[in-house]
């Protein structure tokens, strides 16, 4: 029996499943979508942020419209826009008197959130190259096994070493520490409290960034298994 699945569509479903299964990642995207809606519902905010970017020579990329059908492409475009425009976004939110701006500012200046955003952006970059390879006319059924093995090894490597020229590397090189405080482009970052103040004082309340990243890699690499080709029993999953 020959079973044929669209490999790119399958990989899209795989990433959507990861985004829903890893709680921290799910909450992260929920906050990012709220940030998108915060700016897309107001032309005034967009004009003011553009003005701030021009006056201070900050990089600025327009936040993409929420589009969940092509979730992988949207996820990477969103993360790339937020990380590229981070200084302009944070400066605008810091100067804003709106209550909702404080929540967005806190989210974008939390160290664990920035590390997670940078890591996921690198994962999606590798993931995106894999999808382009699947769409190539040169890729055949026999190539699937090698393509999956290559992307799995590339993703696992991200746990040990940042992607060359990627967002993780950029964050680590740009962040500076002064008197125990961490700064990124002159803006002080905050760290989340891992233990509750009153109850369960000796129980970790929030997982470390490394633990979340490890779970993301575990989920992503595990979901590639149905894309492999098993020639021994002539069952093809594409």
Residues 6+ apart with CB under 8 A from 163: 122, 125, 126, 169
User: DSSP E strands: which ranges in 105-231?
Assistant: 175-178, 181-184, 187-188, 229-230
Determine what percent of the chain is predicted with pLDDT higher than 70.
79
71 to 20, 105, 149, 222, 224: CA distances (angstroms): 12, 25, 23, 19, 17
Asked if 182 and 188 count as a contact pair (C-beta separation under 8 A), the reply is yes
Q: Name the average pLDDT for the chain.
A: 82
pLDDT at 159: 83
Other Cβ atoms less than 10 A from the Cβ of 17: the count is 14
Q: Rounded to the nearest 10 degrees, what angle do helices 7-21 and 111-135 cross at? A: 170
pLDDT tens digits, 110-139: 999 999 999 999 999 988 888 777 777 776
Higher pLDDT, 60 or 227: 60
Angle at 84 between CA 177 and CA 16, to 5 degrees: 105
Beta-ladder partners of 182: 177
Q: Where are the domains of the chain?
A: 7-170+205-226
Angle at 6 between CA 78 and CA 64, to 5 degrees: 15
What is the spatial distance between Cα 114 and Cα 186, in angstroms, rounded to a whole number? 15
Here the tokens at position 45 are 């905010």
Tell me, rounded to whole angstroms, the distance of Cα 229 from its chain centroid. Answer: 29
Taking the whole predicted model, whether its pTM rises above 0.85 is answered as no
What is the spatial distance between Cα 229 and Cα 238, in angstroms, rounded to a whole number? 8
pLDDT at 161: 87
Residue pointed to by tokens 């200046």: 109
Asked if 56 and 91 count as a contact pair (C-beta separation under 8 A), the reply is yes
């Amino acid at each position: 029996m020959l079973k044929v699945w669209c490999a790119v569509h399958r990989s899209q479903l795989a990433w959507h499943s990861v985004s829903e299964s890893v709680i921290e990642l799910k909450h992260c995207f929920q906050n990012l979508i709220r940030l998108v809606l915060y700016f897309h519902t107001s032309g005034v905010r967009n004009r003011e942020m553009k003005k701030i970017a021009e006056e201070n020579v900050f990089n600025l990329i327009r936040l993409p419209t929420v589009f969940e059908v092509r979730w992988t492409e949207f996820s990477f475009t969103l993360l790339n826009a937020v990380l590229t425009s981070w200084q302009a976004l944070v400066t605008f939110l810091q100067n804003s008197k709106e209550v909702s701006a404080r929540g967005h500012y806190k989210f974008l200046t939390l160290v664990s959130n920035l590390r997670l955003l940078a890591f996921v952006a690198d994962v999606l970059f590798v993931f995106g190259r894999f999808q382009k390879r699947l769409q190539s006319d040169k890729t055949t059924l026999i190539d699937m096994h090698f393509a999956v093995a290559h992307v799995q090894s590339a993703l696992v490597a991200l746990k040990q070493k940042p992607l060359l020229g990627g967002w993780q590397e950029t964050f680590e090189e740009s962040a500076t520490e002064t008197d125990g405080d961490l700064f990124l482009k002159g803006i002080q970052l905050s760290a989340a409290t891992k233990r509750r103040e009153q109850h369960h004082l000796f129980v970790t309340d929030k997982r470390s960034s490394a633990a979340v990243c490890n779970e993301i890699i575990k989920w992503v690499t595990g979901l590639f298994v149905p894309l492999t080709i098993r020639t021994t029993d002539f069952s093809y999953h594409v």
